[in-house]
Amino acid sequence: MNPRAFRSFVLAILLVVMLGAVAYYLLGDTSDPETLSFDRSGPRMVALSALLAVLLVSLFHSGPRIREVLRALIIWGGLGLILVTGYTFRHEFEILGRRLMAALVPGTAIEQTDGSVVVLRDGGRHYRIRARVNGAEAVFLVDTGASAVTLTAEDARAAGFDLDRLSYTIPVSTANGRTFVAPVKIDELDIGTIHLNDTRAYVSRDGALEVSLLGLSALDRLSSWRVEGNRLILTP
């Protein structure tokens, strides 16, 4: 890089830093403890403006061509603006990403900043949610008519239950008729950021249930759950 181009590059970087500071001042969330706290008083802005003016004067009195400086400023300034904007609105982008994931992958739990979890209704007008049972992933159909969480034989096996040692002694009625289920305790049930220990549950026989049910033995342990439009909101 020749001296003239190098000088243009350095001036462009200095201008980007100044513009970034001004953008941070204008857009930064000072309520966020992770961000640097700026004093929003007049003297701060006067100092920033004065320093920017000095840099601009230096630009016009130095040797580099304006075109080179502007080209470098546009490139690096654009990158700086993207970084500042991304950091300022990082929480909003994170929530948006989760909502997009929930739309693309039905049953994905959308974790909210207040700790609640949102589930979107699927095309069949049901609420299905991806959860973890003793660390194993399972898809549940939310069923407020079920008194307890009920696992399919496949999900129970993946969660570590020995089906041959279970006692199928509890009679229940299903869409396929009357059957028997085995009572169990789920050590860990995770629904997004919601964590439940020792949840009362049942295990169905092989082929008796198509999908595991998230029943009242889990829902009643939440502080609240409600439906708003096409969203099911679970609050721990």
At 117, the amino acid letter reads V
Segments of 11-157 assigned E as strands: 110-111, 117-120, 128-133, 136-142, 149-151
Over residues 64-72, the mean pLDDT reads 63
Does 30 or 127 have the greater pLDDT score?
A: 127
User: For the chain, what is the mean pLDDT?
Assistant: 78
pLDDT of 89 > 90? The answer is: no
- Shared domain for 32 and 109, answered yes or no, is no
- Shared domain for 152 and 230, answered yes or no, is yes
* Cα–Cα dist 62/158, whole Å: 71
- Shared domain for 105 and 207, answered yes or no, is yes
**In which domain, by residue range, is 67 found?**
3-88
Q: What pLDDT is recorded for position 83? A: 75
- Shared domain for 81 and 117, answered yes or no, is no
Q: What pLDDT is recorded for position 69? A: 61
Torsion of CA 63, 66, 69, 70, to 10 degrees: 170
- Shared domain for 55 and 102, answered yes or no, is no
pLDDT of 199 > 90? The answer is: yes
Query: In the chain, what percentage of residues exceed pLDDT 70?
Result: 58
Count how many domains the chain has.
Answer: 2
What's the pLDDT band for 32 if we cut at 50, 70, 90?
low
- Shared domain for 157 and 226, answered yes or no, is yes
- Shared domain for 153 and 172, answered yes or no, is yes
- Shared domain for 112 and 217, answered yes or no, is yes
Over residues 93-108, the mean pLDDT reads 60
Over residues 131-151, the mean pLDDT reads 96
Does 82 or 106 have the greater pLDDT score?
A: 82
Domain finish residue from 88, 107, 127: 88
- Shared domain for 49 and 152, answered yes or no, is no
- Shared domain for 101 and 183, answered yes or no, is yes
pLDDT of 24 > 60? The answer is: no
Q: What pLDDT is recorded for position 79? A: 76
* Cα–Cα dist 136/25, whole Å: 46
- Shared domain for 129 and 32, answered yes or no, is no
Top mean pLDDT of 5-9, 101-105, 157-161 is at: 157-161
- Shared domain for 50 and 104, answered yes or no, is no
Domain finish residue from 61, 88, 115: 88
